[in-house]
Amino acid sequence: MDYVYPLARASEAMARSMARHVRGKIVIQATR
């Protein structure tokens, strides 16, 4: 089960970048 940890890390990083992207989109829409 060595491959589960890096996979969880990758999914966490992807979710974090997606959350940042969505947050930036919301900020851009709010400033309009």
Which pLDDT does position 16 carry in this prediction? 93
Which pLDDT does position 1 carry in this prediction? 55
pTM of the model: 0.53
Which pLDDT does position 19 carry in this prediction? 92
Which pLDDT does position 13 carry in this prediction? 92
Whole-angstrom CA distances from 6 to 2, 9, 10, 26, 28 are 8, 5, 6, 30, 33
Q: Look at phi and psi of residue 5 and say left if phi exceeds 0, alpha if psi is from -120 to 50, else beta.
A: alpha
Which tens digits make up the pLDDT trace of 1-32?
577 788 889 999 999 999 999 998 888 888 87
